[in-house]
Copies of this chain bind each other. A is one copy, B any other.
Amino acid sequence: MSWTLAELAKHVDAEIRGDADCIIDGVATLSSASSSKISFLANSKYRKFLSHCQAGAVLVTEADAAAVEGNALVVKDPYVAYAKIASFLFPAKTVVAGVHPTAWLDPRSHVHDSAQIGAHVFIDADVTIAENVEIGPGCVIQQGVTIGAGSRLVANVTLCHGVSIGHRVILHPGVVIGADGFGIANDNGRWINVPQLGSVEIGDDVEIGANTTIDRGAIENTVIGHGVKLDNQIQVGHNCRIGNNTVIAGCVGIAGSTLIGADCAIGGGAGLGGHLSIADGVQLTGMTMVTKSITEAGVYSSGIPAEPTKQWHKNVVRYRQMESLHQRVRELEQLLNNQD
């Protein structure tokens, strides 16, 4: 399949600079594109590739349009336009209704006829699966789970009892939703379990990356808002609530009962303590350590970036001497004050 540049431009409301009849049959990066591919410039790091780019067309902003040697599609946001064109050129595969012969559906489950149920899937009693849902191979859906229309569990996903999944949700392989939260109480030196009686609610249009885990609430539910995007290997503790459209990169850990606002962006490897409250619109850079609530939107950071190990050793020594350095400066100040 292929399209003219004019057809693609219309699809993303772009202004064409160059040959509107150029034929496009795929996407490519700036550095590897051939003449039938469309590419894009969204990160200034890659601007250097514009000059030798062989692409049939490049999606750019007005500011970068002059630097494109071939055809350009000028748009407000090249990455958004690229996403739309790529989705148009390569639409997601459609759900094929049917139950694989090796799947097991409890007779008390309610699975819509349009759903696709993969190999070795287990669906327990009182589960409700809406239209056009795809449950990939190896998934385990425990008692009382509900899954909204158009959602997709890729493979080997585990949904524990009672969990509720919204519409058009994508769960990647290895995701575990609704495992017991880490609730323990110390009874005279022996740890006893605190029953985890809440569940998990996942909103609409949520995407959750491979091997991410979201624990069920202790009493009330853990809640993931609409449009939230979670990357791989994230841990969300019990009772957390994550506001709409917040995005979280890989390897983030969020301890229990922490509330994260809407429209936040949390960098990879960040860690958030428990029982905190993070305002709407907060951004955390990668590996940031959050030990207190953040009450105002803005960008927050912590951590000291890598340096050669020799210097690192010296700086750590100096770090541990800061108290005495302060003392020495104070003494110098007193000495000078006495001189005056």
Contacts and interface: CB of A to CB of B under 8 A. Distances in A.
Interface stretch (A15-23, A65-73, A107-115, A136-144): A136-144
A47 to B, nearest CB: 13
A53 interface: no
Interface stretch (A2-10, A81-89, A126-134): A81-89
Q: How large is the interface on A (under 10, 10 to 19, 20 to 34, 35 or more residues)?
A: 35 or more
Given A102-B104, A302-B307, A333 B326 contact: no
Interface in A68-108: 77, 79-80, 82-84, 86-87, 90, 92, 100-102, 104
Given A173-B160, A185-B80, A227 B326 contact: no
A193 interface: yes
Contacts of A186: 77, 80
A166 to B, nearest CB: 14
A49 interface: no
Given A87-B193, A90-B197, A182 B249 contact: yes
A286 interface: yes
A312 B287 CA distance: 13
A209 B138 contact: no
Given A118-B122, A335-B336, A250 B247 contact: no
A301 interface: yes
Given A86-B197, A179-B209, A255-B268, A245 B302 contact: no
17 contacts: A77-B187, A79-B185, A86-B195, A104-B120, A120-B122, A154-B179, A158-B174, A182-B209, A210-B213, A271-B287, A289-B306, A298-B308, A300-B308, A301-B309, A305-B316, A315-B320, A329-B329
Interface of A: 27-29, 32, 43, 45, 77, 79-80, 82-84, 86-87, 90, 92, 100-102, 104, 118-120, 122, 136-138, 140, 142, 154-156, 158, 160, 170, 172-174, 176, 179-180, 182-187, 189-195, 197, 205, 207, 209-211, 213, 215, 219-220, 227, 229, 231-233, 235, 237, 245, 247, 249-251, 253, 255, 263, 268-269, 271, 273, 275, 284-292, 294, 298-309, 312-316, 318-323, 325-326, 328-329, 332-333, 335-336
Given A170-B180, A233-B235, 19 more contacts: A28-B219, A83-B195, A86-B194, A102-B104, A138-B138, A155-B160, A213-B233, A215-B232, A231-B235, A231-B237, A235-B251, A250-B253, A250-B255, A251-B251, A289-B304, A289-B305, A290-B306, A300-B306, A329-B329
